[in-house]
Amino acid sequence: MMAVASELASFVAGEWRRGTAEGTDTNPARPSEILASVRLADARVAVDAVLAARAALPGWAGLPAPSRGEILRAAGDILDTRAENIGRDLTREEGKTIGEAVREVRWAANILRYHAAQTLDPDGETLPSTRPTTHVFTKREPLGVITAITPWNFPVSIPAWKISPALAFGNTVVWKPAEIVPLSAVHFLSALVDAGLPAGVLDLVLGRSADVGDVIASHPGVNGVSFTGSTAVGRAIQARATSAGKKVQLEMGGKNPLIVLADADLDLAAEATARGAFMSCGQKCTSTGRVIVERSVLAGFLDRLTARADAMKLGDPLEADTVLGPVSSGEQRSKVLGFIERARAEGAKTVTAEARPGSPADGYFVRPSVLVDVRPEQEVARDEVFGPVAPVIAVGSYEEAIAIANDTRYGLTASLFTTDLRRAMRFTRESQAGVVLVNQETAGVEYYAPFGGVKDSGAGSRERGNSARDFNTELKTVYVNFP
């Protein structure tokens, strides 16, 4: 079993590589608690990671696909057996509750096993030919070396849905996780290494984006870049990578609307809004960013939503009955509180308990906030907050609601609550989002269904499910003539 040390480092060509810079991994619930020290990679380590992945590519791509699948399946089983321990470290490092963290690890295990099963699927098709002596068929081949850049909010499951299909289809991977979640990254890597993944097939780069970002996005040895994170960073990576001839897949920000019509089940809508806006402290790209409610049911809906928000226990995320832990960092806490303060200055009102429960020294906690009297043009209704904030916008009709919902540069998820089947189906056609939900929270998606957004929420082919094959492979058409 691969040991997880108290000093963390990059993993290149099957060996730990200590960088020259130093960092620390801290607990957002107890900022003075240091979980591990980190030896951060420099450009040299990043280059070596790309070269190691390139060297390992022929052997891994040449391995029969079912054999690759067996390693992924074993890694999924290892994650399952270690879920409680990994979940505990994830909670201490990122701040989400222990229940959410353990579920995330088990979700990642399912993702690994799902893509393991895909190694048994057909990798092409036969086609008819106009010439009687010619056989035409297609086949899928690995893209090559793929750089995976992953965020801190889902430090195990997002790497799983990027890395496992890449490996299943015969690619090698250079992986840069977010700087504040190195311990979770090492746990995920260890499961794959312990399952028998050959050296160099997955190379972990623990480093600052400023030091290693250009290398792993534009190095000539890289064939594709898959990124999840903010829109600004994603567009910058896209520009660098595409100018260097790379294939690019981006999953970026969201300002996801949830519409509540007058005929909706208000209890169901309020519960889904609370979960979508506040669970994981709203730190999901799919979190509910705008709540658009018909005026005739606004009062009843707000009563229900406010009661749910104020009832959510905020506290130590390792305690079983805690519903909300801290946000991920002091910087994130300041950002969220700043959104709330500016919204109030612009005329919005908070109908929940005070968002700021204590000083940053006590942990980076933010209570759930429901804002009312919000106008669609306000900052809090247009920009991604990434915190437990639900701005509520009142409207007079479905037509006004869908117009406001679509009036955004984002297009990741969108949800409608109604009992009218005709309007539900109309919404699925008219909503400008990559994922559309009816009578379900904006964050409720499956790991085996295609996932991604439109507008400034995404670019390139979709992630997850069968769609993962599109980014991770190249399609080759073959003509064989029998004279």
Tell me whether residue 382 is exposed, middle or buried, using C-beta atoms within 10 angstroms of its C-beta: 0 to 12, 13 to 18, 19 or more. Answer: middle
Of 285, 294, 384, 441, catalytic = 285
User: Cα(442)–Cα(310) distance, rounded to whole angstroms?
Assistant: 21
Q: Which of 13, 333, 328, 21 is nearest to 184 (CA)?
A: 328
Asked if 156 and 104 touch (Cβ cutoff 8 Å), the reply is: yes
Q: How many CA atoms lie within 13 A of 254 on its CB side?
A: 34
Which residues does residue 127 pair with via DSSP β-bridges, in sequence order?
Answer: 136
**Strand ranges for 373-432 from DSSP E:** 389-395, 413-417
> Angle at Cα 465 formed by Cα 460 and Cα 466, nearest 5°?
80
Can you list the alpha helix ranges (DSSP code H) found in 20-169?
43-62, 65-81, 83-94, 98-118, 157-168
Q: Which of 290, 286, 275 is nearest to 451 (CA)?
A: 286
Residue 130, C-beta contacts closer than 8 angstroms, at least 6 positions apart: none
Which run of H or of E encompasses 146? Answer: strand 145-149
User: Cα(197)–Cα(189) distance, rounded to whole angstroms?
Assistant: 10
Query: Quick one: tokens of 328?
Result: 């991920």
Asked if 29 and 42 touch (Cβ cutoff 8 Å), the reply is: no
- CB-CB neighbours of 47 under 10 Å: 17
DSSP of 314-331, one letter per residue?
Answer: BS-TTSTT-SB---S-HH
251 is catalytic: yes
281 is catalytic: no
User: Cα(123)–Cα(470) distance, rounded to whole angstroms?
Assistant: 11
Residues identified as active-site: 251, 285
